[in-house]
């Protein structure tokens, strides 16, 4: 953990008075192990642990002055543009706005920091469809928060930004989910993240040699199933199992947390084949935490990839659709991608990125 939580790790703020339009981008993430253990009440009672890495797909947010005196929420990638009088930006707009993430961040920032709402045009787009399983919604919230932090010169460090994004998404807006996505996107890179009692989070960046990093990156294949899924129902069922403290759910959650530790150790040693074994084991445990995590399409694509030479795989995120990820011997990479595409997925390689949230001026 940074000793000074207000230290900015990835950018400096613009000088007051020089701002024209502020832009922000936040990388999406792949969850390698431990996903689900960042959910309350499990992480509060037992402590959660996840291993994730950010990739070369991003959520973007832009803020500039509007020309008509209204606040505009704009998302061209989903074809939405809505306008509100600045005086109407309060808690009630959270139920009126179709772009609830934009509204939630603006209301959350203005309420927490006593900010007067100006006629802003707030635009966003994401390099992945909604329900991708790459943490896109949380990355977008972080991007919106980061843009306002830069615009308003708010004294927030990366831990503060990630926690604020979590509060806005999970508490203010009541959207189901865990905590890893906000921290992954804010910090960027390959991180082992611990979720402890009393809302404490520790982000441990992993230093990899170029040899290990290149081998892992070359061994990764991701594939969009073509189905965007709503994770809320799956996460709600996982939470229900945790609240009931069913023996099976708890056993599988403990397994997922141990897999995060094991995956971290295998990664640091560069044991990619062992990482694949853990990925498969973790996938089996995850499927037992809630119904709907897997389905016939997912099982078909998994089987196709394994038949073509993949040695490990799972769904990224809550499950039910979105992206799948596979560990593949590099010499079988092309065959696996071709096979997945032939089976109806949209497959390809992916690049790992080290930078987290970034802002700049247009």
Q: Mind listing the pLDDT tens digit for each residue in 54-98?
A: 999 999 999 999 999 999 999 999 999 999 999 999 999 999 999
Phi and psi at residue 61, to the nearest 5°: -140, 135
pLDDT tens-place string over residues 125-169: 999 987 788 999 999 999 999 999 999 999 999 999 999 999 999
Distance CA(260)–CA(282), nearest Å, equals 9
DSSP 123: E
Distance CA(126)–CA(124), nearest Å, equals 7
Q: How far is CA 70 from the centre of its chain?
A: 31
Which domains are present in the chain? 21-207+354-361 (3.30.230.10), 211-348 (3.30.70.890)
Q: In which residue are the tokens 């996107």 written? A: 185
Distance CA(291)–CA(296), nearest Å, equals 13
pTM of the entire predicted model = 0.89
Q: What is the mean pLDDT of the chain?
A: 89
Q: What residues contact residue 249 under an 8 Å CB cut-off, 6+ apart? A: 238, 241, 242, 288, 289
- What does the pLDDT read at residue 237? 52
pLDDT tier at 233, thresholds 50, 70, 90: low
Which carries the bigger pLDDT value, residue 3 or residue 341?
A: 341
Which residues does the annotation mark as catalytic?
Answer: 181
């Amino acid at each position: 953990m940074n000793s000074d939580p207000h230290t900015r790790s990835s950018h400096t703020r613009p000088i007051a008075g020089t701002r024209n339009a502020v832009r922000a981008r936040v990388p999406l993430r792949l969850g390698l192990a431990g996903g689900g253990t960042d959910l309350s009440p499990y992480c509060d009672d037992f402590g959660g642990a996840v291993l994730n890495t950010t990739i070369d797909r991003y959520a973007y947010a832009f803020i500039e002055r509007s020309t008509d005196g209204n606040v505009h929420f704009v998302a061209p990638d989903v074809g939405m543009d809505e306008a509100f009088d600045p005086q109407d930006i309060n808690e009630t707009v959270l139920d009126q706005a179709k772009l609830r993430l934009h509204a939630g961040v603006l209301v959350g920032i203005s309420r927490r920091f006593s900010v007067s709402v100006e006629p802003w045009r707030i635009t966003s787009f994401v390099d992945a469809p909604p329900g991708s399983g790459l943490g896109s919604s949380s990355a977008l919230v972080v991007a919106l928060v980061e843009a306002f932090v830069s615009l308003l010169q708010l004294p927030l460090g990366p831990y503060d930004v990630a926690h604020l994004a979590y509060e806005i998404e999970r508490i203010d807006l009541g959207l189901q989910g865990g905590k890893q996505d906000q921290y992954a996107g804010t910090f960027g890179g390959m991180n082992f993240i611990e979720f402890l009692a009393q809302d404490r989070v520790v982000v441990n960046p992993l230093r990899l040699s170029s040899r290990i990093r290149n081998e892992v990156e070359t061994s990764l294949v991701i594939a969009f199933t073509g189905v965007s899924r709503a994770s809320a129902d799956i996460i709600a069922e996982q939470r229900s199992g945790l609240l009931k403290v069913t023996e099976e759910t708890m056993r599988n959650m403990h397994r997922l947390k141990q897999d995060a530790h094991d995956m971290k150790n295998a990664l640091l040693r560069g044991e990619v084949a062992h990482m694949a074994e853990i990925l498969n084991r973790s996938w089996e445990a995850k499927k037992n935490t809630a119904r709907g995590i897997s389905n016939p399409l997912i099982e078909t694509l998994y089987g196709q990839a394994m038949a073509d030479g993949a040695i490990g795989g799972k769904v990224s995120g809550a499950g039910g659709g979105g992206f799948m990820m596979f560990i593949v011997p590099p010499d079988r990479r092309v065959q696996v991608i071709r096979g997945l595409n032939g089976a109806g997925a949209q497959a390809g390689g992916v690049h790992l990125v080290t930078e987290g949230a970034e802002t700049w001026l247009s």
